[in-house]
Amino acid sequence: GAYPWRNWVNNWRPAHIHFSVFGTGFAQRLITQMYFEGDPLIPHCPILAAIPDRAALAQLIAPLDLNASIPLDSLAYKFDIVLRGRRSTLFENRLEGN
């Protein structure tokens, strides 16, 4: 095709969005990534494979939200960032826990 590089650039990473959320100071910062349900590269991603806790991994994958999607226009996904508690989002910069 016109773009032969598309066959190998980032073909090992699933589609994702980076989030960096600051609190009242620089030391209060959440860095994480959101992945999309159904992406076939999720099981092959070495970064996601490094997360031993399957429940924490599941919280990084946004489920498809067909109720919020617009037919023939766009898909919607639901992703919550939880700052504290048992369901808190895995912090990329604090793997030891939240």
Q: Domains in the chain, start-ordered, CATH in brackets?
A: 1-98 (2.60.130.10)
* pLDDT mean for each 10 residues of the chain (98 residues): 48 88 78 93 90 90 96 94 76 56
Q: How confident is the model at residue 91, as a pLDDT?
A: 66
Q: How confident is the model at residue 7, as a pLDDT?
A: 47
Annotate the chain with DSSP letters as a single string: ---GGGGTTTTTS--EEEEEEE-SSTTSEEEEEEEETT-TTGGG-HHHHT---HHHHHHTEEPB-TTT-BTTTB--B------SSTTPPPPTT-TT--
